[in-house]
Each structure stands twice: as C-alpha cells, then as structure tokens.
C-alpha cells in the first residue's frame, strides 16, 4: 500500500510540474468540441441531442495525448528500469500511475463540461449523476490506457500505436458513457440510467483487474 501511494504521489508531482501540458490538452479537447459543433450547424435541438457523444469523443481524443505522455519522464530519464528494481510490486506501480491518470482524465472531463454546455446548450441540474458518469467513464479509459501506454512507450511511433490499440478496446466504455450522459442531459423517463452506470462500473472493474495482472509482463518483457 505504501508503494502504491508513493507511485501515485510521484505521478501527481510529475503532472503538476507539467501542468502547462495539461492546459494544452484541455485546449485540444475544447477545440475538438468547437469543430464538432460546426459540423452540426445552428440547429440547437440537434446540438443538444449529440452533446454527450461529442463530449466523450473530444475527451477520448484528448486522453490519447495525456496517456501517451504518462511514461515520457520514465523513458527520457531511463527511470523505468530503476522503478522495477525497487522493493515494490509491478502491480503497485501500475495502480499508482493508473490512478494518477484517472485523476487527470476525470479533471479534464469535468473541465470540458462547461465548454459542452456553452457550445451545445446542454445544461443539466443533475450534476452529481453527470459526475458519476465522468468518474466511471474515465476509469474505464485510464486503466487500459495506462497499460497500452506502457506497452508502446519504448516504440518510436507510440503516438500512433496507442490510439490504434486503445480505441477498439474502449468502444463499449464509450458507448455506455455516451448513453448515460445523454440520459442525464436529455432526461430519463424510462429510468435507464442505473443499468448503464452498472455497465460502466463493470467495465471499469474488468479493465482495472486485467491491467494489474498484465502490467508486469508488459514492462518486464
């Protein structure tokens, strides 16, 4: 547990020192939402109807930049080998970094919500429900994203390989997150929110469990 907290603290400090990069990633996500709104046009009802899908698409595109850089410092300073020599399990190192990536993606998702509200007129009073969707959805992205970021960190084309590997795996997570977000924004007369949230939680548990099991093989091979 101490090793997990130490790894988590290390990654949070690295993210704080590179906070200007986080601003750039947020700007990229906001620009993606702006471009998507242009594709829909001035139809306010259509904008509101598609707001949830565009929010998660913008978050997914921005997350690839964040996840691809999550192992950048370790590779530049050749610190990954040193971390593996520490008296700590690779599972603790994985969960420490995955939780830090989760926090970063959740913060990014929450920061993009006001942009979505302004551009798509997609305001809602169910803020807690929306927060739950963002937390579970980004958990489903960060766990496999951290695993694949470690897998591709030693390749030259990691910025290209990471989306190719990650996108097919997280399609079910995105579909569930988009549907749950849409129900929060547009209303839920059939009470479908809870099943979609349960599905998101199941995906998160599966991805975090598999990531912890496979991370040692990924970084040691």
pLDDT (tens digit, 9 = 90+) per residue, 18-48? 677 888 889 999 999 999 888 887 878 888 8
Surface-to-core class of residue 88, CB atoms within 10 Å of its CB (0-12 exposed, 13-18 middle, 19+ buried): middle
- Token code pair at residue 155: 């390749």
Q: Are 199 and 171 in contact (CB under 8 A)?
A: no
Indicate the length of the chain as a whole number: 221
Convert 118-156 to b/e letters by CB count within 10 Å (16 or more is b).
ebbebeeeeeebbebbbbbbbbbbbbbbbbbbbbbbeee
| Span 98-130, pLDDT tens digits | 898 999 999 999 999 999 999 998 888 889 999
The packing angle between helices 158-186 and 44-68, to 10°, is: 150
Report how far residue 175's alpha carbon sits from residue 204's, in angstroms, rounded to the nearest whole number: 13
Split at pLDDT 50, 70, 90, the class of 17 is confident
With a cut of 60, say whether residue 85 has pLDDT above it.
Answer: no
H helical segments located in 77-157? 80-85, 90-120, 127-152
């Amino acid at each position: 547990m101490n090793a997990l907290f130490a790894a988590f603290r290390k990654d949070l400090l690295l993210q704080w020192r590179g906070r200007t990069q986080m601003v750039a990633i947020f700007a990229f996500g906001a620009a993606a939402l702006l471009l998507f709104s242009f594709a829909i046009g001035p139809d306010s009802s259509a904008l509101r109807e598609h707001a949830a899908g565009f929010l998660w698409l913008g978050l997914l595109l921005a997350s690839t930049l964040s996840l691809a850089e999550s192992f950048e410092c370790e590779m530049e300073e050749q610190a990954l080998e040193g971390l593996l020599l520490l008296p700590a399990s690779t599972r603790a190192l994985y969960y420490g970094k995955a939780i830090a990536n989760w926090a970063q993606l959740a913060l990014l998702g929450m920061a993009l919500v006001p942009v979505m509200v302004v551009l798509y007129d997609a305001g809602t009073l169910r803020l807690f429900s929306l927060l739950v969707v963002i937390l579970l959805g980004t958990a489903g992205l960060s766990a496999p994203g951290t695993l694949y970021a470690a897998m591709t960190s030693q390749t030259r084309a990691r910025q290209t390989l990471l989306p190719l590997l990650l996108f097919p795996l997280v399609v079910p997570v995105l579909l569930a997150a988009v549907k749950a977000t849409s129900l929060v924004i547009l209303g839920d007369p059939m009470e479908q929110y809870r099943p979609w949230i349960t599905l998101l939680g199941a995906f998160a548990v599966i991805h975090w469990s598999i990531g912890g099991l496979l991370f040692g093989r990924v970084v040691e091979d």
